[in-house]
Every structure is written in structure tokens, then in C-alpha cells.
Chains A and B, each alone.
Chain A
Amino acid sequence: MPQIISMKVEYLILLSFLLTFAVITNAFYVKKQFYPSVVYLTKSSTSLAVLYAQAFVFAILFGKFIQRIFLGPLRAIETEHLYDRAWFSITETCLAFTVFRDDFSPRFVALFAVLLFLKCFHWLLEDRVDYMEQSPVLGPIFHTRVIGLLSVLSILDYLFISSAYMHTIAKGASVQIVFGFEYAILLVSVITTAIKYILHSIEIRAGEQWENKGVFMLYSDLILGLFRLTLYMIFIMVMMKIHTFPLFAIRPMFIAMRAFRKSCNDVLESRRAIRNLNTMYPDLTAEELGNATDTTCIICREEMQVQQSIKRLTCQHIFHKNCLRSWFQRQQTCPICRTTVLRPVPTRAAAAAAAAPLVNAQPAAASQPQAQIPVSTARFPPSPSHLASNSATSSTSSSTPTNTSTQASPPNFNAMGAGVFPQMAFNSFPMVLPPFAFPPPPLPPANFAGMSEETIRAMEGTELSHVQARIQCLRNVRTLLDASMIQMQQYMNIVLTQSNMENGTGLLNNLKNDTDQVLTSSDENNSRNNVLNPINENDADVIRRRRLEHYRQRLSPSTTNQENNNDS
């Protein structure tokens, strides 16, 4: 597509030349002499139109020539910017013509054309200097061109300003005021570009990141933006006094205003970010940097050096101070973990102090539920004797109802264990095994010899509660086993993540064997309970049956143990 367009442009240029040639030859052919033919040309509107078109073509060709000298081939983005801005500028120039319709003359149009022409080069130069930041290779030709264009443009701007000033002084307010202001604004933009160019060149010469460049850029933007804005303001006020409201200056002024507001905002944000960085986070020392595992700044992907100022955030991530500053101008979070950092949080010393209790808080959290729920002491005893005594009481003291049983189920423990996970898994784990050495339940003599009817009956009465207590005890054991299995799984997870595969599985196997043993021993207990059954059956009578049924109903979650008990 661009090729077709450029072809068309060439054809148009050729056509324009041919037309001009035709018009001029025609004039000479008709009038024969130089002076009358010139008069003829200026009187005939057709020839004038052709000649204006030719002048336009000459201007474009001259522009192309200058561009060849000072800029070389344009990049796509530069051409795009140029067309966009030229379009706006042309509309604004047309608007300006409406304001100055009284002064409308070829000279006036020519002056505006020159202004537009120079504006184009200002824009191109701006783009070119911005390009410095993007290209890794810049030859001496580039610098010569930029410096040449910069000086030519600034000299031209200055000349136009002074001529406009002289004109205004000599002949009073006229259109020249507009040109004066326009060129003044252009001069400001040239200065901005020059400052940028100098800053970029210094950075390139320095060869590495120049820390203060960003700050310089911000402030120069701010000051020159202010200049530009005041110029526009004065211009509009002056125009209001002399002519009418300059409609054509509204858009550029609005843009200047917005740019100024933005640079104000940038400066404020940057200052805030720097202040926060300086007050909240001290610079990293060489020693601390040496201890850090990863010394690449994730923002610029460069190694952090000791001489650069480096900051560590509360989340322990470290960055270059300058990289952080420019990021914090956009967002107040850590780039890695996105924790909000620019709140008034305590300094690092306080943060460390806060972190220490946090570590201690875990055992505290572990002990707290134990203190609150007495069940959990039985589940995960701090000492084996504790559980032994507990089970002993539950098995021997017959009449006390053991209500410590079913409240804390394995999932409940699981939730608790997840919160206080490491301590629970490692501390209580080896202590799970010994408590299962139960004191044997008191058994009556095998053949009830030497026992009276009453004692047997009394024994039978107490026996039932004994059996119940034992069932209860066995249930507790079961819950404990479930809990310990969960603990074991958690332990295994830890072991696996620590990639101690062999040790871990070996340990797990051991544990499995241990639990199997415990399970079988509990089965033995069950069978012992079953041994008691015949005694009950021997003296079966209606009341006892009813009583049994009554108990059965009370212990509604009927287990196999009970079934065995009540089987007749």
C-alpha cells in the first residue's frame, strides 16, 4: 500500500510540473513577452491555481530534501505521528484563517505554510530524540544530524520571534503576535528536546544506568510544561484583548494543560515514592546483599551492585531503589508478591520484632486448643503417662460417664493440625505409640468360685457399666488411631517434600506396623469383652434384657462391639 501511495505522489508531482510547464508556455505563447505573460499568469485564476499547487509541491520537495539532510529515512511511527499532527495543525490553521480573514493574503498564507513546515521538523526532531532511548546503535551521523537540526530550528525560531516582536513594536498589534507566540512555543519545545537529548547523551556516555536521569527528566518536563502553559495562557489573553477568542489555540492549550498536570502528578508521585522508600526501608548493606540468594533485580534484570542503592521491602524482596521508585509511581505493591507496601507500616526492626512472636505464636496456637478443650489432651497427650492415667480412670472408675469421647473427631483435629502443623506433627508423633500399653481390665475369677449370689449379681450390675466403659475406651482408641493416621500422612507429606523418600517410606512402614499391632491389640480387647458375654448370658432374665435394650438405645450409634454384647 505505501508503495502505491508513493507512486501516486510521484505521479502527482510529475503532473504538477507538467501543468506548470504547460501554463507558463501557454502564457508566453499568447503574450510573446516576459512582462505581459507574468501579468497574464497572475490574472488568470486557473494558472494561479496551478502555480499554487506547484509551490506546494516545491515546498514538499524542499521538505523532503531537508529531511534527507537532517533526519535520513523516517521510521513508520515517525511518519504516522507526522501525519496525525499535520492533520490537526492544518485544521487549526484553517480556523486561524477564519479569525484573520481581514488580513488574508498570499503572504499571510505563505507565513502560515512556513510555520507548519517548521512545526513538522520540530515534531520529527522530538520523535528522533525519543528514539535515542530505543535504539542500541547510534552512530556519529545521528548525533551530528540531531545537533544540526536542533541548532537550525532554534535559530529560525529565534529569528521569527524577533521579527514578530519588531513588527509588533513598529506597526502595533497584528497577526504577527500569533506568529510570535507560535514560534515562542516552538522554541520551548526545541529546548525540551535539547534537554532530553543532552540527558540521553550523558546516559549513553556513562554506559550504565544513570540513577538521577529520571528525576531530571521529570523536573525538566514540569518546568517546560509550565512555560508552555503560561505562554498559551498569555497568548489567549492577548488575543482576546486584540481580536476575538482564538479558537484554534484551544486544542494545543488543552494538551499542554493535560501534559502539565501529568508531569505535576508524576513529580508528586515520584517524591512520595522516594520519601516512602527512604523512610520505611533502609538501604541494603553489602553484607546483607552477600547473604541474599538472588541478587538480580527483577525489574531491570540486572545484577545488584553494592554501590547502587538497594531496598528490601517488608516481604523480603530486594530491588534497585530506582527501579522500585518508577514502579511505585504506578502501583504501590511489591512486583513479585503484590503485597501492598506503601502503607505506613512499621520499619524493618519492628517488622522483625513482629515476625518473632509470629513464630512463637504457632506453638502457642497449638497449646491453646489443648487448654480449651480437655479432650485434645487425651487425643494428643504431651506425655504418655497422661493418657495412661486417663484411660485407667475411664476403665476402672465404673460409674463415671465418659463424655470426653466423641466431641473431637478426626476432621476436627485435622483442621487444628493444619493450622499448627509442623509442631503437632513432630512433637506429638513419637508419643502416640507408648500410651496403648493399657492396664489390663479387672477380670472376675474364672469360675466365680467363692462368690455369693448377691456379689455375683452386684458384679453383674457393675459389669455392664464396665463393659460400656471399655467400649467407650476402645472408641477413644479408635479415634486416636484415626488421628494418628492423619498425622502420619501429614508427616509423610513433609518427608516427601523434603525429598527424603527412603527414610520417609521406611518410617511410614514402621508406623504402619505399629498401628497394625495396636489395632490387633484392640481387637484382642474386643474379644476379651466377648469373653464376658457368657457370664451375662448365664444369668439371663427379663429385667436385664430390658436394661440392656435400654442401654442399647442410649448408645444409639451402635457399634459392632455392642452388637456382640447383646447377641444372645
Chain B
Amino acid sequence: MAGSALRRLIAEYKQLTNNPPDGILAGPISDENFFEWEALITGPNGTPFEFGVFATRLHFPSDYPLSPPKMKFVSEIFHPNVYPDGRVCISILHAPGDDPMGYETSAERWSPVQSIEKILLSVVSLLAEPNEASPANVDAAKMFRENREKFDETAKRCVRKTLGL
């Protein structure tokens, strides 16, 4: 079973290196372990996260295509759907069956059809359009709803930090 996980990860890695999606760079951290990936996501244009390059870590379970990977932002990011410790709250990363909040339909959740590319693209679109319905960072969600200018400013500060400015 798990041998197939490795083969699938290798296949996805090949696919991602041959046809890299815009603004996304992803690959295993070391050649010896394909179950730990690092991905660089650029903030989508026209959002406060524009020009930012955010480093994320993906950890794949040994039964990978059947269970979703875990994703975590390594760079600091101020976003309503990213926990302060960097974990991303996005429905396609939630295993089917368990619904912690009770509002997602199973259609939104993980299935083997999803892929690393799709996850990363979903995260990019999440950066562009935060989902106010499921805030992971309550402060960010509150600021996003009530004081958009301050939110944009805070987000931009994070972007500057990721760029080392």
C-alpha cells in the first residue's frame, strides 16, 4: 500500500516539475524522504499578500492518496484561515468522514482525486479570498471583517517579513 504512496508522490513530483503551475514551487525536502515536502507559494496579485513568497511544509501520511497530507506555513502569515502556528484550515485537507465543525459536506473534503497541485492552488485562492465562515485565526478574521485596511496592512507587513525586508 505504502509503496504505491511513494510511487504516486514521485509521479506528482514529476508532474509538478514538468508543468509547474504559476507561482508555485514544490518538492520533497530531501531525496531520501518523499513524505516531507516543501512548497513555496507566491501571494496572488491584487491581494495584500501580493509579492509575498510563503514557505510551507507538507507532511504526507504513509497511506497518502487515501488520507490527506498535513500542511503548515513555515513563514509567518496573517490570514483568517491559517492558525497562528501555521496550520492551514482548508476543507480539501480534511479527511472524509470526520467533520470537526459540522458544516462541510463530504464533497468538499479529501479524496484521492485531489493532488498536491490542487491543494496548493486552493491555498493560493484561499489567500486571495479568505473564507470567513471557518476562521482559524480569530483575530485575523475579525480584523478582515471589521477593519479591512488594518488587515491589509498587517498582511503586507507579513509579506515584507517573508522577503526579509
Query: Taking the complex as formed, is B131 at the interface, i.e. its CB lies under 8 A from any CB of chain A?
Result: no
The stretch among B72-80, B106-114, B157-165 that forms the contact with chain A is B106-114
Given A75, A134, A209, A298, which contacts B4 in the complex, CB threshold below 8 Å? A209
Q: Which residue of A lies closest to B12 (CB)?
A: A301
Chain A, 97-138, contact with B by CB distance < 8 Å: what is the 0/1 string?
Answer: 000000000000000000000000000000000110111110
Please give, as numbers and ranges, the residues of chain A lying within 8 Å of B113 by CB-CB distance. Answer: 298, 335-336
B62 touches A300 (CB 8 A): no
Complex CA distance for A213 and B7, rounded to whole angstroms: 15
Smallest CB–CB gap between B130 and chain A, Å? 26
**A-side interface mostly:** loop
The reply to whether the CB of B22 lies closer than 8 angstroms to some CB of chain A is no
Interface range on chain A (Cβ under 8 Å from partner): 20 to 34
Do B6 and A335 touch (CB < 8 A)?
no
- Asked whether B96 lies within 8 Å of A330 as measured between CB atoms, the reply is yes
CB closest residue in chain A, given B31: A137
Size class of the contact patch on chain B: 20 to 34
Q: How far is the CB of A464 from chain B (nearest CB, A)?
A: 62
**Chain A residues with Cβ under 8 A from B31's Cβ?**
136-137
In angstroms, how far is the closest chain A Cβ from the Cβ of B129? 24
Known: A134-B62, A335-B113. A323 touches B4 (CB 8 A): yes
Q: Which of A374-407 contact B (CB under 8 A)?
A: none
Q: Is the CB of A209 within 8 A of B63?
A: no
Is B18 close to A, CB under 8 A?
no
Complex Cα distance A209/B97, Å? 28
From A133, A135, A327, contact of B112 by CB (8 A): A327
* Contact, CB under 8 Å: B107 / A338: yes
B residues near A137, Cβ cutoff 8 Å: 31-32
CA–CA, A501 to B79, complex, Å? 44
Q: With CB as the reference atom, state the residue of chain A lying closest to B95.
A: A330
* A-B pairs under 8 A by CB, number: 80
Given the known interface contacts A301-B8, A302-B7, the answer about A135 and B33 at a Cβ–Cβ threshold of 8 Å is yes
Q: Mark B69-93, 1 if CB is under 8 A from A, else 0.
A: 0000000000000000000000000
Residue pair B62, A130 in contact (C-beta under 8 Å): yes
Contact between chains at B106 and A136 (CB < 8 Å): no
- Are B111 and A335 in contact, CB atoms less than 8 angstroms apart? yes
* Inter-chain contact A330/B66, CB cutoff 8 Å: yes
Is residue A448 within 8 Å, beta carbon to beta carbon, of the partner chain?
no
Chain A residues lying within 8 Å of B6, measured Cβ to Cβ, are 133-136
* Chain A, Cβ-Cβ closest to B67: A330
A136 to B2, CA, bound (A): 12
Report B-chain residues with C-beta under 8 Å of the C-beta of A210.
Answer: 3
A213 close to B1 (CB less than 8 A): yes
Q: Is the CB of A300 within 8 A of B35?
A: no
CB of B80, distance to nearest CB on chain A (Å): 27
Complex alpha-carbon distance, A457 and B95, angstroms: 85
Q: Are the CB atoms of A133 and B7 closer together than 8 Å?
A: no
Q: Which of A134, A136, A302, A323 has the most chain B CB atoms inside 10 A of its CB?
A: A134
Question: Which residues from 1 to 55 on chain B have a C-beta closer than 8 Å to any C-beta of chain A?
Answer: 1-8, 10-12, 31-35
Tell me which of B1, B34, B65, B111 contacts A136 (CB under 8 A): B34
Question: Are B7's CB and A209's CB within 8 A?
Answer: yes
Which B96-119 residues sit within 8 Å CB-CB of chain A? 96-97, 106-107, 111-113, 115
* B65 near A133: Cβ-Cβ < 8 Å: no
Interfacial chain A residues near B96, Cβ < 8 Å: 330-331, 333
Asked, given contacts A203-B3, A335-B113, whether A134 binds B66 with beta carbons under 8 Å apart, the answer is no
* Residues in A whose Cβ lies below 8 Å from that of B63: 326
Q: Which residues of B contact A23 (CB under 8 A)?
A: none
Kindly state whether residue A200 has any CB partner on chain B within 8 Å.
Answer: yes
Q: Is the pair A301, B33 in contact by a Cβ cutoff of 8 Å?
A: no
B2 touches A298 (CB 8 A): no
17 contacts between A and B (CB under 8 A): A75-B33, A133-B5, A134-B62, A136-B6, A136-B32, A137-B32, A209-B7, A298-B113, A299-B66, A299-B112, A301-B8, A301-B11, A330-B67, A331-B96, A335-B111, A338-B106, A338-B111
Apart from A75-B33, A330-B66, list 12 A-B contacts with CB within 8 A. A133-B3, A134-B33, A134-B62, A135-B33, A137-B31, A299-B66, A326-B63, A330-B96, A331-B96, A335-B113, A336-B113, A338-B107
- B interface with A by C-beta (< 8 Å): 1-8, 10-12, 31-35, 62-63, 65-67, 96-97, 106-107, 111-113, 115
Residues of A in contact with B (beta carbons under 8 Å apart): 75, 130-131, 133-137, 200, 203-204, 209-210, 213-214, 217, 298-302, 323, 326-327, 330-331, 333, 335-336, 338
The 4 closest A-B pairs by CB, nearest first: A133-B2, A299-B112, A301-B11, A335-B112
